Structure 1
Amino acid sequence: MKITIRTRALKTGSRSIYLDFYEKGERWSEYLNLFLVPDDTPDAKRLNDASMAKANEIKSKRLLGIDEDETETGGSEPNQLPKRIFADWLNDYIEGIRRSPSYSQSTYHNYRSTVNIIKAYLQYRRRPRYLMSKIDKKFIAGLLDFMQNTYRNTKSPDNPKEMSQCTLHLHQAILVRMLNAAVNEGIMNSNPFYALDKHERIAKQQAERDYLTKDELLALAEAPTTNETTRRAFLFCCFTGLRYSDVCTLAWRDIKQVDSGLVVSIRAMRKTGKQVTIPLNQSALKWLPDRNGCKPGQRVFDMTSLSACDRCLKKSAVAAGIEKNVSYHTSRHTFATLSLAAGGDLYTVGKLLGHTNILSTQVYADVVMETKIEAVNRISEYFSI
């Protein structure tokens, strides 16, 4: 990396001193709050020599990757932030996530991936010991730009790829949570992410929610399959809205008889922890396997891995002539969309799905509305009046 001391003329006649960074085609600046005064100013030479000496000192630190003197301690001012190196704080924070029983293993892995990306950015900018008190809007904007345009996923070293929009948005969300935690700890005064304009943030990608129609469900039920249990469990979920994580642990004791008939009663859904009770209609009961004397604690479906289920379903979908991208989660979208299309209200369908926010259910209502609009338009085209 090349660092050059440059100056910029000001209207006052003085010149502002800044560092010009250049590496691998990228250029950025850092203004030092140091100035060169005009020659006619008293003691101009002494003042300018002191400013340039300080600028050269800072330049040397930047070349070594040092943001501040590591031996410096916080001052005595009551409002002064503690000097915490960002990378060190991240290490402590992620260790807390790992040890906390409140976070799942997958959540920890997501946080750790975000931390690795931030560290990669600090290395990219040659600022591995950057202080948290220095994190501002410009730093966050640079980090988000690095994530989108420079960083490559290292899971496949032979074929590094840029991250998807969904993954980028996930890392941005985790970054915001971590900075909020730093503010709560008193390490930062405020979260600079909120100073970004909307266009500077990573937008959330609208997820595609493919669902199966009645005819597609019938076609899939009759198509050849490489695993009958997978197909039965998938179709069962199309009429109950259960996730893969819930159906693969579903036991016979979870299917109970109540006054209105059989229901699936799950004490706590794997993802949300919410309790749900789902009535079983004739379509759902059709795909339940025979119990054959199974004990209450035995599993209803002997499931393979999620990836194996998805491969099986994609093959069946092709055989059935379905062009949609079918995965196991398509069953949940199918249940939600068909339930609303059949006249179910948002609140009830949301309860059956175990949603914690009505906005999650609203997405499916929007899909149903698009279908209704298409139907109305087809009527208009038919009569041509």
Structure 2
Amino acid sequence: MKTEMKVLLYIKRSGQDKDGLSPLMGRIAVRGKNNSIAQFSCKFKVDVRLWNATAQRCTGKSRMAVMANREIERTLLLLRQRFNELKDIKEVVSAEEVKNAYQGLAESQDTIMKLFAELNEEYALRVGVNRSATSYYHYTNTYRHLATFLKDKYRLSDMPVKQLDENFIEDFDMYMRTVKRFMPKTILGHVNRLKSVMMLAVFRGIIPFSPFKGYRPQKPEFKQMYLTEEELGKFANMTYDTPNRNFTRDMFLFSCWTGICYCDMRALTEKNLVKAEDGSLWIHTERQKTGTPECVRLMEIPLAILEKYKGMDADGKLLPMLTKESMNRHLKKMSVMCGINRPISFHQARHTFGSIICLSQGIPIETVSKIMGHKHIKTTQRYASAPRLVA
């Protein structure tokens, strides 16, 4: 007789807390030669208002709903794996055996590096969907630095999540500051990614609260990211010493006048060009970083650049881009050549669009936020340091 397993998830309403969160429970039913049932706790809570009992998922796209559904998928996958493993070695499998096999695996995963590795594995699956390859690289890079820190400071390859406290965070911060000689912005990035791991641990019920609650990182000094009008004029009117640098100038100027970042520029095709009823040409695309729409009208300079490089890309893209690293190397030398007393990176073109091309000309910040494809207006407010022009 064929042995089958079904899992029913339900919320324990009697355990609802003051925030409206209830423990998520599960019931394993194994049907076959011997029928059996076992109940278990998923070890995390869900918002009662979001729970859909029919779908056995949380509804909506809130952070709470997304994290809960992610954990539900993980739980069901692990249960299925344990059930299949037991079927391969036993003729009769009970629900209690599946439960014990699942819970034994879950307990063995409550360590920092294992939890971080699991987060990275899941992140890798989302690359190209709603996460970028660059962001994934940053997470794996933090993982490597954390592993080195554990080895150097504690002589350990891993440690229980419950042992990570504020002293650990301060030590990790000091290690990156003194041993690695990282800049405050780099340290903040690594610390925030470790914080994401701890938030996952809180959500799974491994720890009651995040150890980052009282931690206050050193904030990086503010740096002007945009080019001033004078600097932009110098940069645009200079003829450089190599074809690649002149090409880099054109790509930088295209980004300055559209606000489109490097990775999105690289993906542009004819399909992204849209002609409006008044005859104006627009670029309609989605930001790879956030998935939000980005709609920009093409003015004289970007139109001329598109025409100049039309048909030159072997893969049919609108622009035959160099690598970002190559263009950033050129930009550093080009800034010296045109008398700009600070290094330039390609991303500064997007800041120049937001600050100088838009906000300083009096365009409302809400409009700029939509043009640039920002999810939150707080992101756009970082561009608002440029002085506004008064008529």
Q: 1:164 to 1:342 in 2, by over 3 A?
A: same
- Match of 1:266, SS state, is strand
Secondary structure at the aligned position of 1:195 is classed as coil
Question: 1:11 maps to which residue?
Answer: none
Partner of 1:144: 173
Q: Given that residues 289 and 301 in structure 1 are in contact (C-alpha distance below 8 angstroms), is that contact kept between their aligned partners in structure 2?
A: no
Equivalent of 1:87, from 110, 113, 125?
113
CA distance 1:182–1:109, change in 2 (3 Å): same
Would the aligned equivalents of 1:210 and 1:325 in 2 still touch at CA under 8 Å? no
The answer on 1:202 being equivalent to 2:217 is yes
Within 5 A, what are the aligned runs for 1:99-248?
Answer: 99-101=125-127, 102-123=130-151, 124-150=153-179, 152=180, 162-196=181-215, 201-225=216-240, 226=242, 227=244, 228-248=246-266
- What is the CA-CA distance between 1:351 and the residue it aligns to? 1.3
Tell me: CA distance 1:216–1:116, structure 2 relative to 1, closer, same or farther (3 Å): closer
CA pair 104-218 structure 1, distance change in 2 beyond 3 A: closer
1:238/1:334 contact within 8 Å kept: yes
Choose from 330, 347, 351 the match for 1:329: 347
Q: Give CA-to-partner distance per residue, 1:22-59, whole Å, 9 cap, x none.
A: xxxxxxxxxxxxxxxxxxxxxxxxxxxxxxxxxxxxxx
Q: Does 1:274 align with 2:292?
A: yes
Contact residue 276 and residue 282 of structure 2 kept, 8 A? no
Which SS does the other structure have where 1:212 is aligned? Answer: coil
TM-score (norm 1): 0.64
Equivalent runs, 1:21-100 vs 2, <5 Å: 84-100=110-126
For these two proteins, the number of residue pairs brought into alignment is 278
Mapping for residues 261-340 of structure 1, pairs under 5 Å: 261-290=279-308, 298-338=316-356, 339-340=358-359
Q: Letter of the aligned partner of 2:138 in structure 1?
A: N
Specify the SS of the correspondent of 1:180: helix
Partners in 2 of 1:355 and 1:255 — Cα distance?
Answer: 20
Give, in angstroms, the shift of residue 292 of structure 1.
Answer: 6.1
Post-superposition Cα deviations, 1:285-312, rounded to whole Å, max 9, x if no partner, equal 33332476789x8322211111222233
Task: Please tell me whether the aligned partners of residues 131 and 288 of structure 2 are also in contact (alpha carbons under 8 angstroms).
Answer: no
> Which one of 368, 377, 380 corresponds to residue 387 of structure 2?
368
Kept in 1: contact 2:310–2:319 (CA 8 A):
no
1:88–1:273 distance in 2 versus 1, CA, 3 Å:
closer
**2:225–2:351 CA contact under 8 A, matched in 1:** yes
The one-letter code matched in structure 2 to 1:121 is F
Unmatched segments (≥5 aa) in structure 2: 1-105
Larger Rg: 1
Is 1:357 aligned to 2:376, yes or no? yes
Instruction: Tell me how far apart the structure 2 counterparts of residues 194 and 141 of structure 1 sit (CA, whole Å).
Output: 12
Is the CA contact (8 Å cut-off) linking 1:289 and 1:300 kept in structure 2?
no
State the Cα distance separating 1:134 from its structure 2 match: 2.8
Contact in 2 for aligned 1:85/1:132 (Cα 8 Å):
yes
Aligned-pair identity in percent equals: 27
Normalising by structure 2, we get a TM-score of 0.63
CA contact (8 A) 2:149 2:175 kept: yes
> Partner of 1:267: helix, strand, or coil?
strand
For residues 93 and 253 of structure 1, the distance between their equivalents in structure 2, rounded to whole angstroms, comes to: 35
CA contact (8 A) 2:309 2:319 kept: no
Between the aligned partners of 1:273 and 1:117, the Cα distance in structure 2 is 29
1:325 Cα deviation from its structure 2 partner? 2.1
Counterpart contact for 2:374–2:380, Cα < 8 Å: yes
CA separation of 1:121/1:321 partners in 2, compared to 1, >3 Å: closer, same or farther? closer
Query: In structure 2, how many angstroms separate the alpha carbons of the residues matched to 1:212 and 1:234?
Result: 11
Structure 1 stretch 169-178 or stretch 260-269: which is displaced more?
Answer: 260-269
Distance 1:291 1:120 in 2: 46
In the alignment, the residues of structure 2 paired with residue 292 and residue 96 of structure 1 have an alpha-carbon distance, to the nearest angstrom, of 39
Task: Report if the CA contact (8 A) 1:224-1:316 is conserved.
Answer: no
Letter in 1 for 2:170: A
